[in-house]
Chains A and B, each alone.
Chain A
Amino acid sequence: RKEVEQDPGPFNVPEGATVAFNCTYSNSASQSFFWYRQDCRKEPKLLMSVYSSGNEDGRFTAQLNRASQYISLLIRDSKLSDSATYLCVVNRDLYNNNDMRFGAGTRLTVKP
């Protein structure tokens, strides 16, 4: 079993839809969490960090559930430009960023 698991998708949704991705992690010692976005043939880019109390950035909302060991990403009013692969990232090290574990990604396609 992989340490960070994501539904690979693809998720195909119409513009304006709300879509949610989940990511589960197996190591309960995990300390920090992120969502990255990767466009086709591009590098991963930070979308948002995930805080314990949950956080929102415009149309994007991230949640963390430590008890169940999962994080989620909710995208509201999806746009064509949201089409990408979304990578869940879990860091096991509180003081360093050298133990980042990447999920395989969830592919999203937003259609007109």
Chain B
Amino acid sequence: DARVTQTPRHKVTEMGQEVTMRCQPILGHNTVFWYRQTMMQGLELLAYFRNRAPLDDSGMPKDRFSAEMPDATLATLKIQPSEPRDSAVYFCASGLQGMGNSPLHFGNGTRLTVT
């Protein structure tokens, strides 16, 4: 059963530190998404890649967040420097472009706590 894999599952860090989250999309999927979920805001789209190219990162605070996809099997989301308000669960999801009815498949998330 193919799954999206995210690491780490949990991360606790101090304000000002760099945080890197990783995601391995499902093999063959050509779209990758980063979402952030908090109790107050629900699921927010941060960035979107298609065929490894970043297409939309309008939901991401550009001054501290960056998303990359160095190869088809790895997507990264980096926060530098981290702040307490970044505490949330970060989900990666993958899917198939060209199939509007194709759902997204989520990884199990990285629970980030910034103190």
Cβ–Cβ contact A44 & B106, under 8 A:
yes
Q: How far is the CA of A95 from the CA of B45 in the complex (A)?
A: 19
Which residues of the other chain, A, contact B105 by a CB distance below 8 angstroms? 46
Asked if B97 is at the interface of the complex by the 8 Å CB criterion, the answer is yes
Whether A98 contacts B56 in the complex (CB less than 8 A), given A43-B109, A44-B91, A105-B42, comes out as yes
Q: How far is the CB of B93 from chain A (nearest CB, A)?
A: 8
Set B33, B98, B108: member contacting A43, Cβ < 8 A: B108
Which residues of the other chain, A, contact B48 by a CB distance below 8 angstroms? 98
A-B interface contact total, Cβ < 8 Å: 61
Q: How far is the CB of B75 from chain A (nearest CB, A)?
A: 14
**Number of chain B residues whose Cβ lies closer than 8 Å to a Cβ of chain A:** 26
Set B43, B96, B97: member contacting A102, Cβ < 8 A: B43
Q: How far is the CA of A78 from the CA of B45 in the complex (A)?
A: 32
Asked if B25 is at the interface of the complex by the 8 Å CB criterion, the answer is no
Cβ–Cβ contact B42 & A102, under 8 A:
yes
8 Å CB contacts to B: which residues of A34-70?
A: 34, 36, 41-46, 49
Set A42, A44, A97: member contacting B102, Cβ < 8 A: A97
Question: Which residues from chain B sit less than 8 Å from chain A, CB to CB?
Answer: 31, 33, 42-43, 45, 48, 50, 55-56, 91, 95-109, 111
List 16 additional contacts besides A97-B96, A97-B104, A98-B33; criterion CB under 8 Å.
A41-B111, A42-B109, A43-B107, A43-B109, A46-B103, A46-B104, A49-B101, A49-B103, A89-B103, A95-B99, A95-B100, A97-B103, A98-B48, A98-B50, A98-B56, A102-B43
